[in-house]
Structure 1
Amino acid sequence: MRLLILRHGQAAAGAVDAERPLTELGKDEVRWMVGRRREDLAGVRTIWSSPYVRALESARIVADSLGLEVHEQPLLVPNARMPELVEALRAADIESLLLVSHQPLVGNLVDSLSGGNGALGTASLTCLESDIWAAGCCEQRWVEHVRLG
């Protein structure tokens, strides 16, 4: 099974955290990542997103390019409980899944599942592979950080 994890693009300041939208730069970051990793994203069949505005906007950019729908997942908020999220991954039994979420959750998830590099900047994307979703049982195949300009 393959799990792609995308941190949302740059968000605007000054609003309630859950309501912060992407900036124009944030949208460009996500579009850049979609273009850069189009082949890797092509295998995705399901997209789960945090219900926070900036994550949903990021997920919709990816979904529009792949012709997929975004499924809001309350377990993807910044400080979600890791055991519940890992159990949801196990129960979903999805061959190729994209999660769109926030720090510290994305970093903690990568660290927990693979012991890999969970330091994801805005619009960074990483790929984990595993036969089972459990602590230390995944391999981090790659991580890509945005390089605009």
Structure 2
Amino acid sequence: MQIDLIHFTPWASLAGGALIGLSAGLLILLGARIAGIAGIIGGLVQGAADRQWRYLFVLGILLSPLVWQLFAPLPALQMVSNPLGLVIAGLLVGIGTRYANGCTSGHGICGLSRFSVRSLAAVLSFMSAGFATVFVIKHVL
């Protein structure tokens, strides 16, 4: 295995991970809410009574690339699939989040940090499925 040193960004990745952890921690400490994106957006779609913080959270996600541009250029956007593949992938992720009662952020960041066994099972399941999918697409097909 070789590391692509041209695209290797450990400091930017560390900063991004720290900011995600900080925002998830602040949300649970200050608002007693889990930073699971599927649940946050699901609450907006279903018309939850506590929509204000959900709108602000999604707005923060959408505005974060603009803030990042103040410090460093954004990486080039690369489309690695055709539109049909993206639609199918999006539908499969949506179905998976419904079956798992949460998404990668809810289970992987918030659930694992709370030592949730259910989140551990979900993370192991979707990471295994992701590894298998990449292997099949890159090495079998």
- Of the two, which has the highest radius of gyration? 2
Answer 1 or 2: which has greater helix percent: 2
1 or 2 for the larger relative contact order (CA 8 Å, sep ≥6)?
A: 1
Answer 1 or 2: which has greater strand percent: 1
